[in-house]
A and B are shown apart, each in its own frame.
Chain A
Amino acid sequence: MQMRSLRWARPTLLYALVALFLLWTLAPVLWIFVMSVQPEINYVAVPPQLNLQQVSLRWFWEMLSQQDIRDALRNSLIISFMTMVFCLFFGALAAYPLSRLNMPRKNLFLTLSIMARMIPSMVLIIPLFLLMRDLHLLDTYMALIITYSTFLLPYVIWMMKNFFDQIPYSLEAAARMDGCSRLGAIFRILLPSIAPGVVATAIFAFIGAWNEFLFGLILSTRNSMPIMVKISALVSASFHTDNSLVAATGVLAILPVVVLVFVLNRYIVRGLVEGVKF
């Protein structure tokens, strides 16, 4: 009898802990969904007075009707996508020699590249602002793409290098025997053969750019303002902030990443957990 109860206890405890952890991480996210479909008065009350009859999508329609929010969404998509492409292209070109060529000091380079990432963003904000101003890049996509790439590229290089490391030398040799140049071999054979890893890296770069706030806040004013900055602008824009509208915009900002991860889940897990098999 005692044995049996013990056998139940372990998984129960385990699942309880998992549930607790999920509640801990997902509660704020759930709450924002709730907020986005309820009038403000219902959830600011203590305790909250949630009412199913008052569930409404009108804040979503209101949000989508606002040109500036739509613009911000478009800006974020363009900037994140371009950052991803930029990081993948140059990340692959940097990772290949770091993985394959016999270069002096390549580990030093790898260390330095990651060290650049260890500097707090706040420290860089002022010099970056001045640089972008002098280059006349303030409030442009380019400013944000370049800035995001400075901190995403090191990660991308590291990830891609690890994937390249797993490719047997002979695969590249075969490509070159078949008529590829080194560069041709990278793009026609090596990258496609580590596709799961490339996809995982791409999503990582996309999310990194999508979720960024601080640089976006300082380097954009109107034309290139990303959605994350727009949300905070909504909060401070007027005397009365419609929190349901802010929540709806928040949900919108979460969606692309969630969709991306769900659709490409298979690749992400394979790329990050299993690595690439040969």
Chain B
Amino acid sequence: MKRKYGFVAVMLSAILVVGLGLTALYTKQEKAGEERGLKVVTSFFPMYIIAENIIGDSSQVSLENLSEPQTGCLHDYQLTPADMKLLSEADVFVVNGGGIESFLADVAASYPGLQIVNACEGMELLCEEEEDDHGHAHGDEGNAHAWMSVSRYMQLVDTVAGGLASADEANAKLYLENAASYRQRLLPLEEELKELKESVEGKTVVSFHEAYAYVAEDLGLEVAYTLDLDEERQISAGEVADVLGVIEEGARVVIAEELYGKEMGDTILGETDAQVIYLDTLVRGSYEKDSYLNGMEKNIRLLREAFTQ
């Protein structure tokens, strides 16, 4: 009888010690290498890459991204306790804006001291092509995937650099210099796009993600049909028929996203002789400085191949 209570006490304290011990070990590893200084948090991948290039190697500034790299596009993203913790320690929060960060209003209300840099501020975004009848929550501000256009991406870089410079005046010069040199490296991409534009302008394409509207804008392409495929979208048979109809009318190239558009792309390949290319929407990837450059270069190569064939 008494032994039972003893057993329970021993068991619970063992679980307590092991559980807390492992947790302490885990958090200790996390904390290593933490430094003080300006703390910049970005909302998702493209913003992180921009901030990374602007901040450069500065050791006084720490940069962290909110969502895991796998999260990708932020629609319907919910902040986790770790995100809240991160934001409560941050000085500057760099967001894309345009309604992609649906949680932004909550964040602004909870942390009034947090400086928010809105990259799309002052930019006129494209409107969503079709009536948004499937309730995809992009806010009311239209299509916010502006980073998909290289020239707009450069504007984003400038806006973020300006925002960071005014938030941290001590390093303002460094930020603006870094932004300028990053722009220099983006210029060849813009040139390439202009070159490609001359040969493809006016052609019609079908797009499987509204982000490609900006690619089409850069190249002067006409998007005949947008089927917004992403995380949780289930398509109906009627929509598939619509897409096939548009392709028969003359759209030779279908731009899709590998992760969510693959099955649909295969269907198109089987049913028609149109080209299907999988472009990176650049919302996930490795946290290297050149991720955007490399990803965009690959996209342009794929586009060129598809149109020259």
A binds B: no
- B contacts, CB < 8 Å to A: none
